[in-house]
Structure 1
Amino acid sequence: MIIIVMGVSGCGKTTISSQLSQKTGIPYYDADDFHPKSNIDKMARGSALNDDDRLPWLKLLADTILEWSSKKGGVLACSALKEKYRAILSSKYKDIIWVYLSGSKDLIKQRIEARSGHYMNSDLLNSQFHDLEVPNYGIHIDISETPEKIINTIVSKLK
């Protein structure tokens, strides 16, 4: 089983994906770990990535998802903001379960500002919301709920 937990930075992708992994026994991965250094450096300078920056990263993830599908699967935390990004991610393996974490810009901004050691700053949040194309498929989750409730909701919808 391949599950991609998506949404803008600060919506809880890492928390929810890692806890979902623990609950289901499916390995957890963070798409951020697959970014080349040039992308991380660019975001750290406060610049948004463009599609040219993202394309090699998305293609690598698509190949990796295909590998996971033949093993123990994967729960991937990945922004996947645009439909064309999701199309690339699912280009090699179609049976992806999408989980979209949604919340208000104010709540997400508070979460980002409370973080330490993350390259995404709150100024880039506007560009993420601008790029976000909400999927009309998958499991949609309101992030104002507790992580435990969110996990239980997702697991119940996986059955």
Structure 2
Amino acid sequence: MTPLTDTPPGAPVHLVVMGVSGCGKSTVAQALRQRLGWELAEGDDFHPQANIDKMASGRPLMDEDRWPWLRILAGWTSERDERGESTILSCSALRRSYRDLLREGGAGTFFVHLHGDKGILLERMEEREHFMPPSLLESQLDTLEMLEPDEPGVLVDIANPPERAARLVLAQLDLDSIV
């Protein structure tokens, strides 16, 4: 993973809080929003009803289900990037190709990959109300491609409390040199 070294001072930064279901994307994204004051979009809110129905019925999404959704998310980021606004987006972004598409939304895209113990993930999924059933965790883990060394981002252990995770991300970003 690499830092955001190619982002010029003053350019917008776009944090994508990513990982499988149950990793804490929404919670960590909220903690980052509280610290930074940037606009936050929940990727789940952009899913078409057909995707939600498919997942709720226990069927995993396929690439043909995901591409239109990812294009909408990249478009959301691009609109704000053009206005010079930094953003936070929660999105699974499980494959490198998905992250490549999301990076088209803005040059300053940085991935916060929340990753950790499968037991913790299952426990969290079982304790919440969400359209994604715990039975789909395995398919997400099978789909997941870890961040590669050339991708701007940081790996954060899900065992960290959300506030600590946010502090770790902000320390990694060294925002003083970017914004």
Q: Cα offset for 1:11?
A: 0.2
Matches of 1:95 and 1:24 in 2, distance apart? 15
| AA at the equivalent of 2:115 | S
Of 73-82 and 92-101, more deviation after overlay is shown by 92-101
- Identical positions, percent: 41
Matches of 2:105 and 2:124 in 1, distance apart? 34
Please, which of 81, 101, 121 is the counterpart of residue 88 of structure 1?
101
Matches of 1:135 and 1:107 in 2, distance apart? 21
Please, which of 17, 20, 23 is the counterpart of residue 35 of structure 2?
23
Give SS of 2:41's match: strand
Partner of 1:112: 125
Matches of 2:89 and 2:56 in 1, distance apart? 22
Please, which of 30, 55, 69 is the counterpart of residue 81 of structure 2?
69
Q: Cα offset for 1:92?
A: 3.9
Give SS of 1:28's match: strand
Give SS of 1:49's match: coil
When the two chains are superposed, the root-mean-square deviation of aligned CA atoms in Å is 1.0
Q: Give the TM-score normalised by the residue count of structure 1.
A: 0.95
| AA at the equivalent of 1:102 | H
Q: Please, which runs of 5 or more residues in structure 1 have no aligned partner? A: none
Instruction: State the 4+ residue runs in structure 1 displaced beyond 6 angstroms.
Output: none
Q: Give the TM-score normalised by the residue count of structure 2.
A: 0.85
Aligned residues: 158
C-alpha contact (below 8 Å) 2:55/2:132 kept by paired residues: yes
1:66-92 deviation line (CA, Å, top 9, x unaligned): 012133321000000001111111124
| AA at the equivalent of 1:29 | A
Matches of 2:52 and 2:87 in 1, distance apart? 23
Give SS of 2:111's match: strand
Partner of 2:91: 78
C-alpha contact (below 8 Å) 2:78/2:104 kept by paired residues: no
